[in-house]
Amino acid sequence: MSKTIIANFKMELSLKQSLDLLKKYKKGLKTINTNYNLVVCPDFLCLAYLSAKDEKTRVFPFNLGSQTVGHLKYGALTGEVSAFNLKDIGVSFCLLGHSERRQMGENNHIIREKIKTALKAKLIPVLCIGEEKKLSKSKLDTFLAKEIRETFSGFSQSEMKKIIIAYEPVWAIGNKNPCLPKKADEVHGLIKEIIFKKFKTNIKVLYGGSVNGENAKSYLEWENIDGLLVGGASLSWKKFKKVIN
C-alpha cells in the first residue's frame, strides 16, 4: 500500500505565493518518480482560484485537500465552507480537528459532525489527534482512547474504512523537537489497535510534527507509519522535494 504525504500550507502564504509554490510542485514532480500518494492543502481562497482555471491548468500530479470543512451540508454557518462545494471544485481530502483549530475552540463533538459531513460529500477526512504535552504511556493510552471514543461514537465499520488519522503531538509541531520515529511508530500501533478492537478494520495513520527533509525517511521506514503530514517543510518546493525523495 503506498504511503501518503500531505502538505499543509496552513495560513502561511499569500494567494500569489501559494499559486507560485503549486506551480513549482507541479513542475518539480514531473522530474521525480514518486510512489507516494501526495495531497496538498492550500487555503480555501487558493482552492477556489485553482478551480476557476481552465481544465488543462487544473490537472495536478497530487490531490487537493482543504484544511477544514463546515459541519453542515449547507446552512447558517458564517465563515465556514461546505464540504459539498469543495468536492464540486475538485477537492478530495480534508484535514479535520487540526490542533490549531482545536485551539480556536473546535471540540470532538463538532469534529465528529464535520467528519460525518465530509464523508457524505465523499471527501476523505484526515482526523488530526495528538496530546498537548508529553505524557506517560498509560496517560497517552487513556487520552487517545478518549479522543477516538468521543470522535467516532456511532460510526460504522464502512465509514471507518474511509478515514485517515494523523497523529500530531502538539508539542512536536512547528519546532525542532519531533517525536522520535520509534515512539511515533508505537503510538500509531496503539491507535490502530484501538480502532481495530472497536471497528474491526485497519486504518492508515500518518505522522505530523516537525517533519523535514532530514528526518522524513526515518519515519517512513516504520511499518505503522503510513505517511506524513508536513507543515513548515511544505512551504518551499526545495524542502518538500527532500521530504518525498
Among 194, 231, 240, 243, binds ligand 13P (CB under 6 A): 231
User: Which listed residue (71, 98, 131, 147) is catalytic?
Assistant: 98
How many whole angstroms separate alpha carbon 22 and alpha carbon 16?
A: 10
Cα–Cα dist 203/205, whole Å? 6
Give yes or no for a contact between 205 and 166, defined as CB atoms under 8 angstroms apart.
yes
Cβ neighbours of residue 4 closer than 8 Å, sequence gap 6 or more: 36, 37, 38, 39, 164, 204, 206, 226, 227, 228
**168 is an active site residue:** yes
Q: Which of 183, 232, 239, 242 binds ligand 13P (CB under 6 A)?
A: 232
Q: Are 173 and 128 in contact (CB under 8 A)?
A: no
Chosen residue from 111, 229, 243, 244 binding ligand 13P by CB under 6 A:
229
Q: Please, which of residues 89-108 interact with ligand 13P by CB under 6 A?
A: 98
With b for 16 or more beta-carbon neighbours within 10 A and e for fewer, the 122-144 pattern comes to: ebbbbbbbbbeeeeeeeebeeeb
Residue 38 or 199 with smaller CB distance to ligand 13P = 38
What is the per-residue binding string for ligand 13P in 168-207, x denoting contact by CB under 6 A?
Answer: x----xx---------------------------------
The minimum distance between CB 168 and ligand 13P, in angstroms, equals 6
Catalytic residue annotation: 98, 168
| Residues within the interface to ligand 13P (CB under 6 A) | 8, 98, 168, 173-174, 208-211, 229-233
